[in-house]
Structures are given as structure tokens and as C-alpha cells.
Chains A and B, each alone.
Chain A
Amino acid sequence: MSLLEVSGISVTFDGFRAINNLSFSIGPAELRAIIGPNGAGKTTFMDIVTGKTRPDEGKVLWGEKSVNLLKMNEAQIAQAGVGRKFQRPTVFEDQSVAENLMMALKAARSPWKVLFWRPAKPDHFRVEALAKEVGLGDQLDRKSGELSHGQKQWLEIGMLLAQEPRLLLVDEPAAGMTLAEREQTTALLVELSKSHAVVVVEHDMEFVRRLDCRVTVLHEGSVLAEGSLDHVTSNPQVIEVYLGR
């Protein structure tokens, strides 16, 4: 039983086949790393799952009821439980850490309800707890634009958690973090994967090794190999396209 089932998707940009007959699936509590050289289609794959890009063909099914994600827009997909952390930290720099987290907090999303929504006590507690979890407990009132790059990464992870998604798509979470923070991130992701589906896109092999999970290798828009890190790194094709020069 898988949470996300992607089968046979292809997408073409101006004649360039970014994704070519790609299939992928992940269970409800699983950690998966996706690696691949630049242009392998990692980001496009995420774009398709989150609704930003429409594939030319293929199916993307979600959850127990096998809902077709291709018929939903970005917001509906996010509401269905797909959370995404971008490669570059994208937080709302003009707003405070608390506001950023409050916006991400799982709650009604329709304009009318949001207009009259005012945070209750539990919401404040939850925001404070999240901020503490990502090490921003004493930064709640600061404008997030003033944070350091690593803090922004953490804030974005905090926002991802606040959304309480069932599937987390995490794009290069370790970029811009210190060694200690990377370890903290690894621990967090592993912990999360006990109850969530987590997909990590990463360049950094060391980081992937620490995650100790199944690895999917993408190349030219399709899956080249899948299995444990040791398994895929011993695959000659993988060595050729990814490691070898």
C-alpha cells in the first residue's frame, strides 16, 4: 500500500524531455532519497507532484482512495497533505517568524474562514513549540528577513511541520547548514519518517548515507536505479553517469 503512486509520467519543455516515463511510489511511513546529476529531472518531478507542472502523460495517484492529483491545483494538493520545502529557503521575509509559522499552521484555508480566524491559545502554544523545535524559540517576533540563511532553512522546515503534511518533499535540506545542523536535520527527517512519507532530494552523498534509506537514482528524466545506497553506488551505470567522469 503506497501513499503516492506515480506511474509513467513524461513531460516535455520545447522539445526537451525533462521527465521520461518515470514511475515512483512511496509508502505512508517511509524515507526515500532521490539523487541524480543536474538536469536529471529531480525538481521537475517535485513540480509535477505538487501541481506546479502538468505532465504530458502518466498518472499521479494519492492516498488510500487513489485520488488523481493531476486534477488538482497546487493549493488543493497542499491541502491534501503534500508539503514541500524548496531548495532555496523561501520564507516571507517581510513577516515575523511567528506570522510565518501561523500562516503555515494546519487550519481552514478558505478566504472567508481565514478572515475571521484569530489564533486561540493552543495555536500560540503550537507555534511556540514548533519554533523551539527548529531552534527559533526566542526569535518569534523577528522579521524572518533578518534571519541567517541556516535559520531560514530551519524556519521553512518548521513551516513544513506546521502544515502537518502526510508527504514531505524536501529539496536539499542540508544546503547552507553547519555540520551540527545537518546532523540535527538528519535526525529530524529520520524521526519524521516513522509516521510520514518523506522524500529527500539531495546532492550530498554523505548526507544521504547518514539518512540510511532507500535511494532512487534519476537520470535524464527516468529512474536509473533503486535500492540501498550501497546497492546503487555499485551499479556501473550509476557510477558512469553520476560519479564517474
Chain B
Amino acid sequence: MKPGFLSRNPSVLTFLAVLAIFTLAVTFLSEAYGAGLVSTSMVKTLGKTLTLCLIAIAMDLIWGYTGILSLGHFAFFGLGGYMVGMWLMYARTREIVLSSAGGALPMTPQELQDAIATQIFGVVGTSELPAVWSFAGSLPAQLALVVLVPGILAFVFGWFAFKSRVTGVYLSILTQAMTLALSLYLFQNDSGLRGNNGLSGLQNIPGLDAVGQDALSVWFLWASALALALGYLLANFVVSGKFGSVIRGIRDDEARVRFLGYSVENYKLFVFTLTAIIAAIAGALYYPQAGIINPAEIAPIASIYLAVWVAIGGRGRLYGAVIGAAFVSLVSTWFTGGRAPDVPLGFYTIKWVDWWSVLLGLSFVLVTLFAPKGIAGIVDWVQGLRPPKRGGTPLGPDDGSLQEKEALE
């Protein structure tokens, strides 16, 4: 009656195995640790894709399972990136300042901070370290902020939104507005995060100058894979038990769940905050691989693309989200990177750099219309080829179905 966790969730084992094989394969083909068949930039792209898969899991939890179409999770992703980026930039600048310091005297802490601030904020015309950078010198503090800042933002926003019972399309638009407000705020120079310049040079890890980018990229690939694996396990744990039942119930009929005595608002708030934190961790792993973060990354469109990935992959199941994010983002990179061959039509040549977005948009419409289960629907289709496992006796014709119409309002 009580099978083990993994045997109850065979997809988890498959997923972890595939992820492990993938990570090992990339490692053995990388420039730093293997045959050198996979370029460092490719390793970085794959590492970034893994973090995108992680945020897709978060999106699937909040949208596919709980039914809240959040158009704001990339904001949390970006915030996570900013938090870790602040430390990276501060610590790296400190190294540069210390190594290039002139003069006979060692610097006082104040002088050091001023020099760092001048380096970092010269582009926005100030030389004072804004208050939000108070903890930038400490890695543990900034890592804590990766979780805390998006977590608290999500909690406060969710508390307001859910308590007033904003639902459905309204809530989606509200989350979109929150994202827009955040990105507009970050675009300002006096936001203290370098305005539209964003944070840069994040690929250089302070203290690890001796390690080349080729090795670092593999390290980050491993870190991302580990985070993805843990995230997958966590998400699976969340959705597998009664909690999963409740949030799927909220998705399908939240009033009914309320009458069962569950406070729907608290559940939504819990999932919203949890997924915001997962998104933030994904962001904190993504941006050191990307090297640069700026407010444009947070723009509402990014969060909508996230929904696109999950929808194409197949929402309501975790591996669907992962497949969608990996597939769409990699194909996107391939098309927009100019590597896809042009299609000559005689009168017009389709350049994929220009037409990829059109293709993506239209295929998205088609998926929504004709394949709401997304790519993961293929799994169902394959399983459907086998004889179904049916529990209980088949439905008889006499089980009262004739009177169904009567009961309708």
C-alpha cells in the first residue's frame, strides 16, 4: 500500500538519470576536462539552459499546478541575478582596486570603499556606494539576499494580491504590472544598481582568476545541474502529496477547496513565494554564466516567454516544463544565432534571424489551440499505445448518468 517515493514517481528517476548522463557527457566533451568537442561558450549556453529549466519548473508549479498565470517570475529571476551580481562586481572591483592601488600607505576601509564605488558607479555619475550595496562585500550575506529579497517581495505582493482575492486574468495583469514597475525602477540611474548599464563582468569569479573560463563553465554547469536536480526533487515532493492535491484543487475549483477548510490564499502565497525563491536561485546561477545583467532582462516580455516555454513543453507536469524550456531556448538560440540555414523561396529569402519570432509566435498559437498538453503530450500518446491500466470495474450504463441533465442548474 505504501510504495517508495521513487517507485511512485518513476519519472523522477528517469529525469535524474538523463540529467546526470547529460552533465557527464558535456563534461567529457568540454575543453577543460575532456575531448574539447564542446566549446566553452556552448558549455555556458547549456549551463544557462539548465537554470532556465529550473525557473520553468517554478513556473510550472505556480501555473501548471496552482493555476496562477504569473507574468512576473522573471522579475524574481533577475533579482536573484542582481543579488549575486552585486557581490561578484563588488568583490571583483575590490581585487582590481587593491592590485592597482598606488601610494605608499595601505588604504583605509573608507578609501577602499570610495575607490570601489567610483569604479562601479562612474558610469552613472556618482561615486557613492548606495545603501543597497551595504552587504555587497560579503558573499554569505548576498547569497542570503538572493533568497530573501525576491522571497519577501513575492510574499508582500502575493499577500496583497491573494488576500484581496484577485484571480485569473486580473492577477496575471497585476503580476505583469509588478514586473514592469520593477524593471522601470531598475532602469533609473538612482536606483543604485547602475540603471540601464546593469551589472557586468559577472563571469569573472573573484578569487578564481587562476581557473580559466573553460573550467569555470563546467563548474557552473555542474552547479546548475545540481540545482535543477534538487529543484526537481523539491517540486516533485511538493506536488506529490496532499499538498499537490490541494493546489491542483485550487487550480480547478478554488471555491470548493475553501469549503473543504483549506485557506486558499495561504496556499497560493506559499507556492508563489516558494517559486519566486526557486526562480531567484535559478537567476543567481544564470547570470554569472551570462556575464551581464541589465533591467531589460526583467521586462515583462521575458516572463511571458517563460509561460510560452512551459506551455510548449506541457504544463501540469514537471518534466514537460523542463523539456519546453530546454527545447525552446536552445532552438531559439540556434535560430537567432544565425546558424539556421536560410530558406530561399525564389522571390524572397527567409532569414531566420528575422523570422524566428514569427515562427515561435505562430507555433505557440498552434500549440495552445491544438496541443494544450504540449510536447509532453507525446509521452501520453506513447503510453496510450499500451493497454491502459484500469482500476475497478468498468462503468456500467445504469449508474445514473441518464439523470445528469436534470441536476444541472
**Direct A–B contact present (CB less than 8 angstroms):** yes
A149 touches B243 (CB 8 A): no
Interface centre among B256, B264, B270, B398 (most CB of A within 10 A): B256
Contact indicator B242/A103 (Cβ below 8 Å): yes
Chain B residue at minimal CB-CB distance from A99: B245
Q: Is the CB of A118 within 8 A of B241?
A: yes
Provide the bound-state CA to CA distance between A151 and B400, in Å. Answer: 8
Q: Is the CB of B246 within 8 A of A114?
A: yes
Residue A159, interface by CB 8 Å: yes
- 1/0 per residue, CB under 8 A from B, across A171-186: the answer is 0100111100100000
Interface segment among A6-14, A104-112, A188-196, A205-213: the answer is: A104-112
Let me know if B238 is at the binding interface, CB within 8 A. yes
Q: Are B245 and A92 in contact (CB under 8 A)?
A: yes
Q: Using known A-B contacts A103-B260, A115-B238, A142-B392, determine if residue A149 contacts B245 with beta carbons closer than 8 Å.
A: no
**With A111-B270, A114-B243 as given contacts, are A139 and B407 in contact (CB-CB < 8 Å)?**
no
Interface centre among B241, B257, B393, B400 (most CB of A within 10 A): B400
Contact with A along B369-409 (1 / 0, CB 8 A): 00000000000000000000001110100111101101111
**Does B263 make an interface contact (CB < 8 A)?**
yes
Q: Is A64 an interface residue (CB 8 A)?
A: no
> Which of B243, B252, B261, B393 neighbours the largest number of chain A CB atoms within 10 Å of its CB?
B261
Q: Is the CB of B260 within 8 A of A88?
A: no
Bitwise interface map of A from 131 to 172 toward B, beta carbon under 8 Å scored 1, else 0: 000000011111000111111010000010001000000001
Inter-chain contact A74/B408, CB cutoff 8 Å: no
B401: nearest chain-A partner, CB-CB = A148
A50 interface neighbour in B238, B259, B263, Cβ under 8 Å: B259
Nearest Cβ on chain A to B254's Cβ, whole angstroms = 10
Cα A95 to Cα B388 in complex, Å, equals 17
Decide if A36 is an interface residue (CB 8 Å cutoff). Answer: no
A165, closest chain B residue (CB) = B261
**Contact: B259 with A74, CB < 8 Å?**
yes
User: Which residues does chain A contribute within 8 Å of B393, judged by CB atoms?
Assistant: 138-139
Residues from 34 to 67 in B contacting A, C-beta threshold 8 Å: none
A56 located at the interface, meaning its Cβ lies under 8 Å from any Cβ of chain B in the complex: no
Taking CB atoms, residues of chain A closer than 8 Å to B263 are 73, 75-76, 109-110
Binary per-residue interface labels of chain A (73-99) against chain B in the complex, 1 for a CB within 8 Å, 0 otherwise: 111101100011011111011110001
Tally of A-B residue pairs with Cβ under 8 A? Answer: 130
CB contact between B407 and one of A75, A88, A117, A146 (< 8 Å): that residue:
A88
In the complex, B114 has a CB within 8 A of chain A: no
B262 to chain A: closest residue by CB: A109
Known interface pairs A75-B264, A90-B256; A114-B392 also in contact (CB < 8 Å): no
Binary CB contact string for chain B from 248 to 289 against chain A (1 if under 8 A, 0 otherwise): 110011011111111110110010000000000000000000
Do residues B407 and A90 form an inter-chain contact, with CB atoms below 8 A?
Answer: no
Q: How far is the CA of A87 from the CA of B249 in the complex (A)?
A: 18
In the complex, what residues of A have CB within 8 A of residue B256's CB?
Answer: 86, 90, 92
Q: Is A176 a contact partner of B267 (Cβ separation < 8 A)? A: no
Q: Determine how close the nearest CB of chain B comes to the CB of A180; give it in whole angstroms.
A: 10
CB distance from B66 to the nearest CB of A (A): 11
Q: Does B1 contact A (CB under 8 A)?
A: yes
A231 CB-CB contact with B under 8 Å: no
A51 and chain B: residue at smallest CB distance: B258
Interface pair A114/B391, CB less than 8 Å apart: no
**Chain B min CB distance to A50 (Å):** 6
A124 within 8 A of B: yes
Chain B residues whose C-beta falls within 8 Å of the C-beta of A114 in the assembled complex: 241-243, 246, 262
A159 to B404, CA, bound (A): 20
Contacts of A138 in B (CB 8 A): 391-393
Residues of B within 8 A of A126 (CB): none
Chain A residues in the interface with B (C-beta under 8 A):
50, 52, 73-76, 78-79, 83-84, 86-90, 92-95, 99-100, 102-104, 109-112, 114-115, 117-119, 121, 124, 138-142, 146-151, 153, 159, 163, 172, 175-178, 181
The 24 listed contacts between A and B (C-beta, < 8 Å) are A52-B255, A74-B258, A75-B263, A75-B264, A78-B260, A86-B256, A92-B245, A92-B248, A92-B253, A94-B248, A103-B249, A109-B261, A110-B266, A114-B241, A115-B241, A117-B241, A141-B391, A141-B392, A148-B399, A148-B401, A150-B399, A153-B407, A175-B403, A176-B404
10 shortest A-B CB distances, which residue pairs? A150-B400, A78-B261, A141-B391, A148-B399, A176-B407, A75-B263, A149-B404, A74-B258, A175-B407, A111-B270
